[in-house]
Amino acid sequence: MTDGVQTRLQKDVATLQKEVQRIELSIEESSEHLRTEFKTSLEAAAAEMRQLFAQVTLKLGSSSSSQIPETPINASTSRINDSVQPTTDPKPFTKHSKLQCPRFNGEDFLGWKIKINQFFEADETEERNKVRIAMMHFDGRALQWHQRFMRVIGRQQS
Predicted local confidence at residue 47, as pLDDT: 86
What pLDDT is stored for residue 75 in this prediction? 46
Q: How many angstroms separate the CA atoms of 24 and 17, rounded?
A: 10
Please tell me the least confidently modeled range out of 44-53, 72-81, 137-146.
Answer: 72-81
Q: What is the pLDDT of residues 7-44, one digit of tens each?
A: 889 999 999 999 999 999 999 999 999 999 988 888 88
Q: Would you say the C-alpha torsion 116, 119, 123, 124 has a positive or negative sign?
A: positive
Q: Which residues contact 22 (CB under 8 A, 6 or more apart)?
A: none
87 φ/ψ angles, rounded to the nearest 5 degrees: -85, 145
Residue 117 has pLDDT above 80, yes or no: yes
Q: Cα separation of 127 and 156, whole Å? A: 25
**Residue 1 pLDDT class (50, 70, 90 cuts):** low
Q: What is the mean pLDDT of the chain?
A: 79
Contact of 96 with 88, CB cutoff 8 Å: no
Looking at residue 114, what is its pLDDT?
A: 93
Question: Measured between alpha carbons, how far is residue 25 from residues 13, 35, 37, 49, 119 in Å?
Answer: 18, 15, 18, 36, 46
67 CB-near residues (< 8 Å, 6+ apart): 128
Please state which of the ranges 46-50, 64-68, 100-104 shows the lowest mean pLDDT.
64-68
Where in the chain does DSSP place strands (E)? none
Q: What is residue 6's predicted lDDT score, i.e. its pLDDT?
A: 83
The pLDDT score that the predictor gives to residue 66 is 45
Q: What is the pLDDT of residues 61-95, one digit of tens each?
A: 665 444 444 444 444 444 444 444 444 555 555 45
- Helix and strand numbers (H, E) in the chain are 5, 0
